[in-house]
Amino acid sequence: MPVPARLAPAKVNLGLYVLRRRPDGYHDLSTVFLPLGWADRLSGRRADELVLTTTDPGLPTDGSNLVVRAALALRQWAGNPALGAALHLEKRVPYGAGLGGGSSDAAAALRLLTGLWSLDVPEADLHALALGLGSDVPFFLDGVPAYGTGRGEHLDPLLDPDGQPYRCPFWLVVAVPDIHVSTAEAFASITPDDGSRPDLAAAVVSNDLVRWRAEVTNDFQGPVEATHPEIRAAREALLDAGAGHAVLSGTGAAVVGVFEAEDTAVEAAEALPATCRVWTELPEGE
């Protein structure tokens, strides 16, 4: 009998505005989430205890891992501390890169264990559990292109002008320099701007790269690149190789380059420094 498994896809932020600091210490954001095919794989089977193994020896497998935290939260919701599982995470997406890898792993754990433990969890409860684990986790429960506000947890499906789910028409090249960006330090480095900001969702679905260059921007990009010139170098390398636009994802270190032609995207990916991990994504439907 096959072991149940779920993919945990990465995401990129196509634009990220930090609007204001809230009384609870979080920030109100405006961002567009786009899922990628780049994904971890989480599998599991029922067991007497709750244990996690992983292909990455650098990852903790105790309660500090979001997969374990998700399992503990779901077990607490069920009111049954005897629920156990042997979970295994095949780690493929770089962590600490602005790609949401840990958050996606947590969402995959919630979905996987809901089925494995035969729990009937209302979607509202599942989303509340996800938000308790992190601001990005609710997005990964459904993993469709979305416009995020609040902490990023208020999600509206991203729709084309004709009302259909958004499909990105561009080739994407995601470059991840071999450095870690502290989310806390990134937030400490910026000044929120609650002034007149562009309509980020409308800018993205316009598929107008002139508009993308002007409006699909990331407030973290300047401060983060000032601290980590390797990130600026990766973004500029994408632009030099023909990207119509290139922008930081999340708080970094990943940058995403947007290309209209396959051959240009492939050549750009091959030209990036060997120190970068690279993912190339073709347009949906190709």
Question: Does residue 164 belong to any structural domain of this protein?
Answer: no
Per-residue pLDDT, 69 = 98
- Regarding whether 207 and 183 lie in a shared domain, the answer is yes
Is 222 in contact with 198 (CB distance < 8 Å)? no
C-alpha separations of 270 from 252, 267, 278, 280 in Å: 21, 5, 9, 10
114 band by pLDDT with thresholds 50, 70 and 90: very high
User: Is 254 found in the same domain as 146?
Assistant: no
How confident is the model at residue 115, as a pLDDT? 97
Which domain, by its residues, includes 138?
Answer: 6-157
Tell me the C-alpha distance between 107 and 113, whole Å: 10
Positions of E strands within 152-233: 154-157, 171-176
Tell me, yes or no, if 136 is annotated catalytic. yes
What is the distance of C-alpha 179 from the center of its chain? Answer: 17
Same-domain status, 182 and 63: no
Summarised one tens digit per residue, pLDDT across range 138-159 is 999 999 999 999 989 899 999 9
Helix (H, G, I), strand (E, B) or coil at 123: helix
pLDDT for 65 beyond 70: yes
Catalytic hit among 40, 91, 105, 136? 136
- 3-class SS of residue 56: coil
How far apart are the C-alpha atoms of 231 and 200, rounded to whole Å? 23
Does residue 124 share a domain with residue 80? yes
CB 85 within 8 A of CB 48: no
Mean pLDDT (the chain) is 95
Give a yes or no: residue 166 inside a domain.
no
CATH number at residue 125: 3.30.230.10
Provide the pLDDT for residue 96.
Answer: 85
163 in any annotated domain: no
Binding residues for ATP, by number, are 94-104
Choose, from 11, 91, 105, 219, the residue flagged as catalytic. Answer: 11
Instruction: Mark whether 213 and 88 lie in a shared domain.
Output: no
Task: Express as a percent the part of the chain with pLDDT over 70.
Answer: 98
| Structural domains of the chain, count | 2
Indicate if 40 and 147 belong to the same structural domain.
yes
| Same domain, yes or no: 243 and 203 | yes
Give the Cα separation of 7 and 20 in Å (integer): 34
Do 188 and 51 share a structural domain?
A: no
Do the beta carbons of residue 279 and residue 272 sit within 8 Å?
no
